[in-house]
Structure formats: structure tokens, C-alpha cells
Amino acid sequence: MAVDRVGNKPCGGRYGDIVESIGNTPLIELPRLSPKPGVRIWAKLESRNPTGSVKDRVARALIEDAEEKGAIMPGQTILEPTSGNTGISLAMICRRRGYPLKVVMPENVTAERTQLLRMYGAEIVYSEGSLGSNGAVEKALEMAEADSSYYMPYQYGNVANPNAHYNGTAIEILEELDEVSAFVAAEPMQGEPVQGLRSLDDGFIPPIIDLSILDRKIFVTNRDAIIWTRKLLEEESVFAGVSSGAIARVAVRIAGELDEGNVVFIVADDGWKYLSSGIYTLSVDEIENLDATVWW
């Protein structure tokens, strides 16, 4: 009977290859973060995907969409701007499916990202660090313009990206919860770079964002993002990336405004890729004084 149990449970099952095993991530309650008994906070642990981030879903959707349209053939080079996670996910899938991958990434990202991308066989083109990931987007667009042999999935403008969540992540959440009172994401304050998040006021609004479906926006500082990343670890033993700390902070605030119900957010990645940035060891004073212009 053990076999049946595994076969039917999230995160279990049997798959033809690593790409097929993407998704079916666990939904974890965070009882110690909840401000009142009737309000339950849930984290969808997307860090439990094959490369450790939610971007595995997006990368698979982008590649399969291109394959279905006949836009790519094995051997063709895929080009994509990224600050890391999407690139790592694409690299895993492209290696498996036989596409060389070139990623454009800001030169000042953490060393772990460069290492992981190289391990999965991607070629890295660095963009100017001070321009952050918007600089990587611009550079990749220029390269694609100049050389038509590249196929650029373009995560920021490709509807296959949100559809991966609409048809995957969202359905998995709704299979576990009868109702969701609030689904929470977060936006960093402008000029306050939070690794993994992006301010829409920094001059680039991805074409796939539909702002009309947001009920409201709550901004988060980098300091709060780091403090809450550590709270997730210290109070709930969830080792998460910095964007998850930012979102957890907002989720707890929203939970405090409700009388009952379920508040859900996504843990987009785990903490491994952020270790070298020191966020788990900085003192509160050091966090206060972090140089906000450094984009890790």
C-alpha cells in the first residue's frame, strides 16, 4: 500500500524524466506566523522543484510552447535574460532536450548562480551590474535583434509564463484548499533592491503583467525582506530565498486584517543561492546599513 500512497501524494509519484517531475509541490502551513487562530497561512514550497525554484514551471512552459509552435529544433540556441533562477531552470531543461543555452545576466549576481548555470552547461553573457536585471533584458533584446538564429522565449512577454501558473500552480493550491481568502505576492520599494523581486517603478513593466487583477499593492523594504527570511527559518524552519521573506511579511500583515480564512503565498526558491551574500549571518545593525545600491 505504500506504493499507492506515494503515487497519489504531492511530491511523490513516478516520472519519465526530471522535466516531467516539475510541480506537485507541497503546501505547508506556517502556524507560528499566524496572528490569530482562525487565519491560516500557507506557503507553496516551489523550492521543491528539480532546480530548487518556481522557475522550473515557467521554463518548461516556455520550451514546450516553442516546441509546440515548431519555433525550435534541437541544436538551436536559446537566448534569455535572467538574474539566475529562470536561467538555471532553462539550463536544466535545455540540456535534457538538446538545446544550447545562452543567458544574459547582471555581472554582480551571487557566485552560486554562475556556478549552477555552468554546471548545467549554459553559456553566460554578463551585462552591466549597475543596470540590474533591466540591463540584462536590454542586452538580450539587442543580441536577439542582431542575430536571428537565436530563439528567445522572453519570459517577460510570453503568455506561456503566467499560463504555467494558471494551469499548474493555481490548480494545485485549489486542490488542497476549499477557499483562498488572499493570495499574496510583493513588490520592493523603488531603489530598494530585494533579490528576486523587481520594482515596477524602475522603468520596466513586463508586458505579461496585468495590473488590473491586483486588489492592492504593498511595498517591502530590503531590510524587512531579510528579517522575514530569517523569521521563516527561525520560527518555521523554512529555509527560503529573500523574495519569500518579503512576501511572508505581507502575508502576515494581510492575515492580521482578516477574521478567518486561508492566506497563501509562494516560496519561490530556497536559501542556497543566497548564502554567499551573508544575509543569514548579518546582525540587525548590519542589515540596517546594507548598501541598497548593491544588486546581488
The binding site for ligand PLP (CB under 6 A) comprises 55, 82-87, 133, 197-198
Q: Which of 73, 59, 84 is nearest to 158 (CA)?
A: 59
Task: Please say which residue, 39 or 247, places its beta carbon nearer to ligand PLP.
Answer: 247
Q: Which of 95, 116, 114, 115 is nearest to 106 (CA)?
A: 114
Task: Please say which residue, 49 or 85, places its beta carbon nearer to ligand PLP.
Answer: 85
Report yes or no: 250 and 225 within 8 Å, Cβ to Cβ: no
- Of how many residues is the chain composed? 296
Task: Please say which residue, 84 or 245, places its beta carbon nearer to ligand PLP.
Answer: 84
In the complex, minimum distance from the CB of residue 53 to ligand PLP, in angstroms, rounded to a whole number: 7
Indicate which residue of 243, 244, 273, 277 is catalytic: 243
In the complex, minimum distance from the CB of residue 31 to ligand PLP, in angstroms, rounded to a whole number: 27
Number of DSSP helices (H) and strands (E) in the chain, helices first:
10, 9
Based on the residue annotation, tell me whether 243 is a catalytic residue of this protein: yes
Indicate which residue of 55, 102, 139, 273 is catalytic: 55
Report yes or no: 83 and 109 within 8 Å, Cβ to Cβ: yes
Return the ∠ at Cα 18 (arms to 17 and 21), rounded to 5°.
95
Task: Please say which residue, 187 or 236, places its beta carbon nearer to ligand PLP.
Answer: 187
Based on the residue annotation, tell me whether 36 is a catalytic residue of this protein: no
Dihedral in degrees, nearest 10, Cα atoms 232, 234, 240, 243:
50
Residue 86, judged by CB atoms within 10 A of its CB (0-12, 13-18, 19+), counts as buried
Mind telling me the catalytic residues? 55, 243
